[in-house]
Amino acid sequence: MAIASRESDSEPGLELDHLIQEGRVHRRVYTDPAIFDLEMHRT
């Protein structure tokens, strides 16, 4: 999953690092339209 937040390609105000932890992922990663748009842009 390419969710790791990086300064160079993350959108302002969209911090993803806190949503992903060892062994678990916050449901927002799967449901937030802004995260989906970011991932579509990165692909």
pLDDT per residue as tens digits for the range 4-38 = 444 445 555 577 888 999 999 999 999 999 999 98
Per-residue pLDDT at 10: 52
Residue 22: what pLDDT?
A: 93
How crowded is the C-beta side of 40, counted as CA atoms within 13 Å? Answer: 7
The residue segments making up the domain with residue 30 are 1-43
Q: What pLDDT does 25 receive?
A: 94
Q: What is the pLDDT of residue 7?
A: 45
| Number of domains within the chain | 1
pLDDT over 80 (residue 1): no
pLDDT score for 37: 93
Torsional sign, CA 30, 32, 36, 41: negative
